Amino acid sequence: MAAPDPAREIRELITALTPPPATAIPVLKSEFFSNKKAALERLRLASPAHGLEALRVYREERPTLPEVQSGLLDIAAHTNPPATEELLVKLTTTFGEDLYVRKQAAKLLGKSAPIRAIDVIEPILRGKFDDRTYPPEESLLEAWLTAHETLELDPVPLLALVATDIKRPMDVRHAATKALGRHPSPLSRQALETILVESSGNGYIRRLALQALSASLPREEFCALALKVQDREADTEFVMVLEDHLVKSCR
């Protein structure tokens, strides 16, 4: 068997990452996604030398397609995290590069360098977020949460803060609310109950909180809570949402 050739295999990766024309027939598009997935999965298990070659191509040859740039970063982050960490931090925190690439860089930072990701991203999430400087807040929250879960740290305090902050963008609050449901604790329950009865007019986030509580609380406690909220609920549509949960879970 021939020895691995990082330069050749990274070239093959670039080919696999380059999409067909928009006018291509569906079968070619399907083959592209299948080949791209297979190439990434295979090279994520390659050697640190592959990561260095991916970084060299990214920096020196500057591929124009964001899909190719992010794929190179993906392989570098998986095969050689120490060599990739500083670049991922720079892309996450510095304005200028393609937004798609920056979003992927933040996610890769959370996976490949979780301690650094928390150090970099948490102050951003706790401060006044500037969407002109950083990738979308939801992608930063996802990266931060990945880092916490990788290190088996408790993410609930910040998730609760984000989920209950009505000044945050709704997509960010939705993501934090869903995540709270995966991390049951007294604080996550308190935050979810706060969201369940909030009067922001966002019925969707209230449904998310209800679903999270239904999944995480003992049946008796959830049923008592749902009945209590239903008795005081003024929104007739949400009364029916609660009724549906009560019928399915409690009666």
Which amino acid would we find at residue 59?
A: R
- Between residues 83 and 133, the one the model is more confident about: 83
pLDDT band at 16 (very low <50, low <70, confident <90, very high): very high
Average pLDDT over residues 44-65: 97
**Residues β-bridged to residue 95:** 97
Rounded (5°) CA angle 215-220-223: 70
The pLDDT score that the predictor gives to residue 248 is 86
pLDDT band at 1 (very low <50, low <70, confident <90, very high): low
CA distance 226 to 210: 8
Is residue 129 over pLDDT 90?
A: no
Average pLDDT over residues 151-162: 97
Beta-carbon neighbour count of residue 2 at 10 Å? 5
pLDDT band at 59 (very low <50, low <70, confident <90, very high): very high
The pLDDT score that the predictor gives to residue 98 is 94
pTM: 0.89
**Residues β-bridged to residue 97:** 95
What percent of the chain has a predicted confidence (pLDDT) above 70?
98
Is residue 2 over pLDDT 60?
A: no
Is residue 132 over pLDDT 80?
A: no
Average pLDDT over residues 62-85: 97
Most confident of 25-29, 143-147, 166-170: 143-147
